[in-house]
């Protein structure tokens, strides 16, 4: 070796010589995992953001969109193109089949931006067409056809009117894909809504007002209009503000990103362990170079070149992996919109590489700083210099920069703070549990014999490494198990709590003149229903004479009760599944009194005696809170946040709502009901729950994709700690071989150690998952405690298999080295 060659070249030459060393492989693997997880979510998030900034108008269908639950008749003066549409849910039926659908009624100008493409059949070639179908016809979502056993050209009914299916919608502005839509879309002419008779007083309708034009008049119009909109109306811009697509994706975006960051943090642990072992193995090399005249600056150059090369290689491989994985993530999270997203951007790749290099710097620089300051006497003496102040400062700066990058990446400092605190608490609990488990393992070891006793002794001897391995892998298994339980059990458990005759259909939009006929039809067909509750829509506007928003903090003003219109009803009798917690029920008294649900009262800081003001249509009504009640929402009965005493709302135009239980044997009565009452919306709760489950499954599937990174990062920590203890293990193996132990006996001891470690990790993960699941089920869903025996079998076996295989593959060669060769290597 020529030490006079240029130091960067020397660093690369030495790196090539050591490319097969275990710590370099682990460090590279950890970097690929960490950068891959971050770049996966970064690429997809960036594609969504750029889609909304670059192609926002085509996604939105306009340059500006105003949504409102009520018609808006007065607009500021403007010179913009306009289009009006309205959206509502209604039954669509064909013969004996019926399905809830989202109907969008459009005018000839819709959409102002973007294109609607219509096909003659699902998966057939599509062509741009006006969104407004021909008279007497509709365009439908392709998924609606199999639900109704229909095809293009067939006749379907919406409410009281019949329409011909003229085509299927292949693409439309604002289309989000199946993961976010719970009912298939139908396009209808706006001038044909009236003949459907599907809209009644109290029906939930969204009015869509589109505007398009030049930037300057758009800006002026937006600035003039925004202060005039109330909390239930939204102004959405194509290049600014919260957009429909971004809002839908943001529901899971932050949590998916934080899942990726857990993988990055575990990768940092693996990098730190691997870098520390690399430094330990190269102190003699550095001391020898110092004896040959190398300065601290030259050693710094040599090792920084090696570290930077590894960092760039690992980051580049991680970005390539992220580019592939983000496509899979997009197919899970945005299956339909994926074809309309732009190509990959450069910014996420830069952020991922920066996060990888910062993670590498923060984790490895302390060991590197000690390595370049090793004294030449290290050749003769075994002492090591202490970590310098510069090493600590450098590591702190790198760690702080990484934390700031994480905050910027997640876009929410508070969320990252909460997440970091929860993660630290979880790590502390897992470390404590891991240490207790190892202490308990001491008693098992005393009762064991042969290789098993040796393997357990190894776990206890390397206590710090074992605790680190156990904690890291338990964390990964715990998060995977918890997500699997949430995905599979919550809805199933909730369904099991329902009585056999629980309602499975809702009847909505029952007109006053239909109520007696509906009751008679249900009675005739022996269908058990709830009472019919009259319903009007109103907005909560004031509390004790002051605007309700002014009485709350900015965070509390985001409550759904303020952002949308409420369904209001009146009743003399306390509904079933409601319990008065405070105050008294108003009963038959015709007074300005209301009862408020306890959760709403807590969120809006309402107490008995408060006077609330509601705007219903063009009227403003005030009533005093005389009771606060709990509501069993999971009962599937009609439930309300606010119930008035009889008298105040009676004269207002209202529709009614009821729930009904339809046993399978009587399901044939429903098609007749739909034909008899075409304007009434029948919501099948089983189908709704199934749709929600499908949405839930796709979102969790996206997160589980990233949990694969997390599991890999946990394995990297296990392998890194095993490599860090490899020299000590060699010494122990030499001693055992010298004392007469056979290779097979040592191999069984290693298998026993790693299988025991995996079993312990699986058991701890099972306990943590069961505890977390019990808290979630009882605190959030009020479900009884339920154990999962299969979890206690699957997780320990999975842990034993994964840790056992990785541990054996990492350390198996130490059983094959002859004692004399090992002694010469360790001399």
Mean pLDDT by 10 residues, the chain (827 residues): 58 66 70 80 72 62 86 87 91 86 92 88 86 94 88 91 93 53 82 88 84 88 87 71 42 60 71 71 72 74 79 86 80 63 77 79 73 63 60 69 67 66 70 69 64 67 72 77 72 67 84 88 88 88 88 70 80 89 88 91 91 87 93 81 90 87 86 85 76 66 71 75 69 68 72 81 85 74 74 88 79 66 51
Rounded to whole angstroms, the Cα distance separating 630 from 560 reads: 18
Integer angstrom CA distances of residue 392 from 268, 295, 366, 618: 16, 21, 6, 67
**Could you tell me if 487 and 550 lie in one domain?**
no
Residue 242 pLDDT? 37
Q: Residues 298, 149: one domain?
A: no
How far is the C-alpha of 790 from the C-alpha of 463, rounded, in Å?
A: 30
Q: Which two tokens stand for residue 708?
A: 């694969």
**635 and 713 in one domain?**
no
Q: Please state whether beta strands 619-631 and 546-547 pair in parallel, antiparallel, or not at all (unpaired).
A: unpaired
Same domain (yes/no): 17, 129: no
Q: CA-CA distance, 505 to 514, in Å (whole number)? A: 18
Count how many domains the chain has: 3
Of 142, 173, 207, the residue at which a domain comes to its end is 207
Element (H, E) at 144: helix 144-148
Domain assignment of residue 241, yes or no: no
- The verdict on residue 46 lying in a domain is no
Please tell me whether residues 408 and 454 are part of one structural domain: yes
How far, in Å, CA of 370 to CA of 279, rounded?
A: 8
Predicted local distance difference test score (pLDDT) of residue 60: 72
Phi, psi (rounded to 5 degrees) for 130: -60, 145
Distances 505 to 535, 610, 659 between C-alpha atoms, Å = 18, 36, 6
Whether 657 and 696 share a structural domain = no
Looking at the fold, whether 707 and 655 belong to one and the same domain comes out as: no
Instruction: Give domain status of residue 67, yes or no.
Output: no
The continuous run of DSSP H or E covering 796 comes out as helix 789-811
CA separation for the pair 805, 808 (Å, rounded): 5
> 236 - beta bridge partners?
65
Q: Could you give phi then psi for residue 815, rounded to 5 degrees?
A: -80, -10
In a domain, 234, yes or no: no
CB 460 within 8 A of CB 755: no
Residue 225 lies in a domain: no
- pLDDT for 804: 80
Q: Where are the alpha helices (DSSP H) in 448-508?
A: 450-461, 463-497
| Three-state SS at 138 | strand
Same domain as 436, residue 347: yes
Same domain, 390 and 469: yes
- The tokens describing 480, both together, are 């995977």
Q: Is the pTM of this model over 0.85?
A: no
**Could you give the maximum distance between any two Cα atoms of the chain, in Å?**
102
Do the Cβ atoms of 549 and 232 come closer than 8 Å? Answer: no
pLDDT at position 246 is: 44
Write out the residue range of the structural domain in which residue 449 sits. 7-38+253-492+692-826
Of residues 90, 98, 91, 188, the one with CA closest to residue 149: 98
Residue 21 · residue 269 · CB < 8 Å = no
What is the CB neighbour count within 10 angstroms for residue 413?
A: 12
Give the C-alpha distances (Å, rounded to integers) separating 213 from 79, 173, 224, 237, 554.
8, 17, 16, 12, 33
If asked whether residues 362 and 429 sit together in one domain, one would say yes
Distance of alpha carbon 523 from alpha carbon 434, whole angstroms: 62
- Closest by CA to 97, choosing from 687, 694, 693, is 687
54 in Cβ contact with 203 (< 8 Å): no
Q: Are 291 and 425 part of one and the same domain?
A: yes
Q: CA-to-CA distance for 106 and 290, rounded, in angstroms?
A: 80
pLDDT given for residue 629 in this prediction: 95
Cα separation of 779 and 451, whole Å?
46
Q: What is the pLDDT of residue 608?
A: 94
pLDDT value for 780: 60
Distance CA(22)–CA(813), nearest Å, equals 12
- 3-state secondary structure (DSSP) of residue 481: helix
Q: Residue 346 falls within a domain, yes or no?
A: yes
HSE-CB at 334 with a 13 A cutoff on CA atoms is 27
- The alpha carbon torsion through 376, 379, 381, 382 (nearest 10 deg) reads 100
165 lies in the same domain as 300: no
Q: Final residue of a domain: which of 186, 207, 228?
A: 207
In a domain, 272, yes or no: yes
Question: Does the residue 156 lie in any domain?
Answer: yes
């Amino acid at each position: 070796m020529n030490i006079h060659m240029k130091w960067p070249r020397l660093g690369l030459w030495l790196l090539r010589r050591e490319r097969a060393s275990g710590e370099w492989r682990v460090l590279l693997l950890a970097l690929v995992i960490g950068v891959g997880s971050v770049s996966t979510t970064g690429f997809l998030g960036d594609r969504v953001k750029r889609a909304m900034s670059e192609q926002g108008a085509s996604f939105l269908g306009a340059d500006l969109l105003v949504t409102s639950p009520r018609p808006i008749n007065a607009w500021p003066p403007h010179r913009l193109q306009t289009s009006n549409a309205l959206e509502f849910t209604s039954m669509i039926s064909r013969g004996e089949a019926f399905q809830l659908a989202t109907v969008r009624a459009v005018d000839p100008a819709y959409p102002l931006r973007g294109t609607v493409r219509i096909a003659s059949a699902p998966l057939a070639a599509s062509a741009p067409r006006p969104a407004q179908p021909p008279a007497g016809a509709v365009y439908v979502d392709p998924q609606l056809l199999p639900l109704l056993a229909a095809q293009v050209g067939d006749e379907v009914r919406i409410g009281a009117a019949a329409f011909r299916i003229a085509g299927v919608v292949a693409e439309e502005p604002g289309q989000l894909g199946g993961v976010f839509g719970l009912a298939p879309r139908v396009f209808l002419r706006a001038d044909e809504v009236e003949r459907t008779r599907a809209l009644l007083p109290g029906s939930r309708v969204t009015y869509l007002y589109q505007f398009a034009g030049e930037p300057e008049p758009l800006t002026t119009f937006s600035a003039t209009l925004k202060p005039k909109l109330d909390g239930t109306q939204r102004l959405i811009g194509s290049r600014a503000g919260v957009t429909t697509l971004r809002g839908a994706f943001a529901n899971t975006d932050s949590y998916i990103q934080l899942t990726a960051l857990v993988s990055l943090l575990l990768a940092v642990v693996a990098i730190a362990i691997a870098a520390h072992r690399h430094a330990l193995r190269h102190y003699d090399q550095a001391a020898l170079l110092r004896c040959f005249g190398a300065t601290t600056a030259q050693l710094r150059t040599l090792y920084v070149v090696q570290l930077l090369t590894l960092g760039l290689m690992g980051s580049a491989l991680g970005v390539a992996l992220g580019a592939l994985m983000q496509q899979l993530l997009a197919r899970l999270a945005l299956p339909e919109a994926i074809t309309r997203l732009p190509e990959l951007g450069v910014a996420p790749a830069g952020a991922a590489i920066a996060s990888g290099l910062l993670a590498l710097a923060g984790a490895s620089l302390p060991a590197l700083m000690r390595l370049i300051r090793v004294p030449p006497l290290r050749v003769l003496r075994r002492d090591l210099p202490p970590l310098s102040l510069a090493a600590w400062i450098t590591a702190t700066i790198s760690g702080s920069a990484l934390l700031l990058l994480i905050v910027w990446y997640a876009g929410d400092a508070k969320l990252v703070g909460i997440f970091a605190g929860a993660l630290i608490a979880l790590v502390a609990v897992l470390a404590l549990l891991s240490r207790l488990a190892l202490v308990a393992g001491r008693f098992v070891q005393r009762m064991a014999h042969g290789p098993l006793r040796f393997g357990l002794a190894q776990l206890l001897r390397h206590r710090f490494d074992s605790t680190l391995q156990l904690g890291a892998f338990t964390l990964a298994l715990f998060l995977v198990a918890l997500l699997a339980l949430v995905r599979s059990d919550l809805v199933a458990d909730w369904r099991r709590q329902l009585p056999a005759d629980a309602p499975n259909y809702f009847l909505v939009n029952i007109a006053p003149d239909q109520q007696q006929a509906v009751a008679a039809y249900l009675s005739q067909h022996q269908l058990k229903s709830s009472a019919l509750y009259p319903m009007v829509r109103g907005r909560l506007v004031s509390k004790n004479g002051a605007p309700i928003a002014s009485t709350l903090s900015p965070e509390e003003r985001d409550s759904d009760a303020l952002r949308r219109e409420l369904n209001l009803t009146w009743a003399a009798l306390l509904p079933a599944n409601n319990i008065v917690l405070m105050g008294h029920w108003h009963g038959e008294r015709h007074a300005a009194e209301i009862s408020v649900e306890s959760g709403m009262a807590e969120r809006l800081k309402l107490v008995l005696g408060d006077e609330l003001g509601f705007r219903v249509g063009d009227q403003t009504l005030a009533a005093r809170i005389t009771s606060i009640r709990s509501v069993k929402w999971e009962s599937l009965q009609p439930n309300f946040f606010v119930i008035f005493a009889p008298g105040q709302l009676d004269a207002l135009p209202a529709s009614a709502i009821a729930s009904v239980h339809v046993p399978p044997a009587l399901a044939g009565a429903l098609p007749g009901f739909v034909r008899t009452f075409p304007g009434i919306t029948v919501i099948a709760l089983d189908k709704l729950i199934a749709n929600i489950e499908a949405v839930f499954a796709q979102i969790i599937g996206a997160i589980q994709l990233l949990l694969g990174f997390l599991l890999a990062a946990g394995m990297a920590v296990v392998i890194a700690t095993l490599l860090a203890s490899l020299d000590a293990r060699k010494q122990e193996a030499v001693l055992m071989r010298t004392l007469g132990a056979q290779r097979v006996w040592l191999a069984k001891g290693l298998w026993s150690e790693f299988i025991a470690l995996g079993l312990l990790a699986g058991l701890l993960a099972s306990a943590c998952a069961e505890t977390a699941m019990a808290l979630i089920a009882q605190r959030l869903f009020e479900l009884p405690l339920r154990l999962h025996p299969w979890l206690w079998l699957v997780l320990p076996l999975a842990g034993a298999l994964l840790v056992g295989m990785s541990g054996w593959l990492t350390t198996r060669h130490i059983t094959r080295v002859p004692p004399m060769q090992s002694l010469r290597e360790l001399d």
